[in-house]
Chain A
Amino acid sequence: ILNVEQSPQSLHVQEGDSTNFTCSFPSSNFYALHWYRWETAKSPEALFVMTLNGDEKKKGRISATLNTKEGYSYLYIKGSQPEDSATYLCALEGNEKLTFGTGTRLTIIP
């Protein structure tokens, strides 16, 4: 069984500030770690897929790191913008499926 925990559950950040949140997992017995961005009434949108310890991925102002030895992944957003408001989901891929955390709900305050 893959357990995925995300923290914090919700976060309010001033526009322009940078922020980060965490996905933690007790076991490294998975194939890949996925980050998704999910806006209400839309499809979850894939951000990153990471497979190796030490992986770092970047897309614009958003980046992510993976540390399988210590059991966590961080998602960073630099210079938050209102359009970054969404729920960010972390998921572990293994046993023919994705196992999701409950997400971090990010609200950017203009």
Chain B
Amino acid sequence: DSGVTQTPKHLITATGQRVTLRCSPRSGDLSVYWYQQSLDQGLQFLIQYYNGEERAKGNILERFSAQQFPDLHSELNLSSLELGDSALYFCASSMDYVYTFGSGTRLTVV
């Protein structure tokens, strides 16, 4: 157990639907990062939050949004889902330049 908790582990949904992925960072970590890993691609950075505020944005689609709550957990919302959104979504938290990853949520859009 890395200390970063992601739920659910697996998600199957239909095109056009909306889903929410949840991440609880390691205790004490203020930063949360979201990454997407599609087939044959590396981990692509989506977005970062630090203590509730958005810090950096990567190649995140407009259909996707995220937030970090006062208790520091974060949610990634994916809407109007397309087949190409099927991927493994990782959350990571960091402190003192150590990044710890969760085990990911595997999203399958059918």
Contacts and interface: CB of A to CB of B under 8 A. Distances in A.
B56 A34 contact: no
Interface size class of B (residues with CB under 8 A): 20 to 34
A96 B103 contact: no
Interface in A61-110: 89, 91, 93, 95-103
Interface in A1-43: 4, 31-32, 34, 36, 41-43
B97 A98 contact: no
A43 B97 contact: no
B98 A102 contact: no
Contact of A42 (B55, B56, B97, B103): B103
B48 A96 contact: yes
A102 B41 contact: yes
Contact of B98 (A49, A96, A99, A101): A49
A100 B43 contact: yes
Which applies to chain A's interface (DSSP): helix, strand, loop or mixed?
A: strand
Contact of A43 (B4, B33, B48): B4
Contact of A44 (B44, B48, B101): B101
Nearest to B33: A97
A36 to B, nearest CB: 8
A98 B98 contact: no
A46 interface: yes
Given A98-B33, A102-B41, A93 B97 contact: yes
A102 B37 CA distance: 10
A100 B55 contact: no
Contact of B2 (A4, A43, A93, A102): A43
B100 interface: yes
A57 to B, nearest CB: 14
